[in-house]
Amino acid sequence: MATFLTDVHTHSTYSPDGVSPLEEMVKTAQAKGIAFYGVSEHVNYDMLVAEQDGRIYATERHTDVDGYFHAARHLQEDYAGVMNVLVGAELGYTDDVRAQNMYKELIQKHSPDFIVNSIHTLGGIDYWSGDPYYTEGRESVRDKREVYEEYLRLVLRSVKADYDYDIIGHIGYPTRYAPYADRSMPYAEYAKEIDEVLVEIIARGKILEVNSSNDKGVSMTLPDREIMQRYFDLGGRKVSYSSDAHDTARIMDKREKVVAMLKEIGFTYLTVPCKGEHIQVEI
């Protein structure tokens, strides 16, 4: 096993919220000495079907999927032998079968090198927006336990998703944005729901992401240290580091701190997914 720098969940301007162009992101990653650089542009078919139904307004553009894969595959070739550019995608999980079928089609058409399966929305509405935390009509804030348990059940269904994916992204996402005085999701209070998720990730051989893009949150990473510790105690060993960078400056953000945390817990390697293979990289 060898030591390499990795960052396997990033975005560029192909994503609706990306800031730096793909070429600049890749160039910066190489300048920072990264060996495995994963690009995972947003594919938000969860939002797309909600827009088509009129459940939400179409406020943001969607990733040009064909354009992205075309450009990224070219960059992958250009960097061959210099840096492993992994051409992936971050899929927004939803229970909606129409969106799931669209994800299956995308996977067939583009054979992504890896996929991050993430939850951003509840019924197509982003946890970022605040709406999932309120009663209909936004008269009052829903009980935190009700919202978080509902979210964790949704995460469990995303782990069981009926399409190929490699990584479960940023568990605890609502804690970044929830309108509660205490937004935390302590393991002890949600142990049953969190354990169900972790056990399923391990049983399916999936990778649990440690996401360092959580400046708006209440912990350094998503998921937080307690959940990573519990995953380790349950026998989980497959973890990926991701900056979730949307601009060049954030590539590999807090990587040293994250790796130190993982080592303290007992992890000895990171896992990098590539074309169905899970590569172990020593830390």
Give the residue carrying structure tokens 């300048």: 31
Q: Is 244 in the site for Zn ion (CB under 5 A)?
A: yes
Q: Which stretch binds Zn ion (CB under 5 A): 44-52, 83-91, 130-138, 142-150?
A: 83-91
Q: Is 209 in the site for Zn ion (CB under 5 A)?
A: no
Q: Which stretch binds Zn ion (CB under 5 A): 46-54, 138-146, 241-249, 273-281?
A: 241-249
Quote the crossing angle between the two packed helices 144-159 and 191-203, to the nearest 10°: 10
* Distance, CA of 54 to CA of 47 (rounded, Å): 10
- Max Cα separation, the chain? 57
Q: Which stretch binds Zn ion (CB under 5 A): 74-82, 174-182, 188-196, 236-244?
A: 236-244
Q: Which stretch binds Zn ion (CB under 5 A): 58-66, 84-92, 201-209, 227-235?
A: 84-92
Nearest to 223 by CA among 256, 258, 189, 248: 258
Least distance (Å) from Zn ion to the CB of residue 282?
25
Q: Residue with CB nearest Zn ion?
A: 118
Residues 88-107 that bind Zn ion (CB under 5 A): 90
Least distance (Å) from Zn ion to the CB of residue 228?
18
- Using the minimum distance from each CB to Zn ion, give the nearer residue, 123 or 141: 123
**C-alpha distances out from residue 191 to 125, 245, 259, Å:** 26, 30, 24
What is the torsional sign of CA 132, 135, 137, 140? negative
DSSP 173: G
List residues binding Zn ion (CB under 5 A): 90, 118, 244
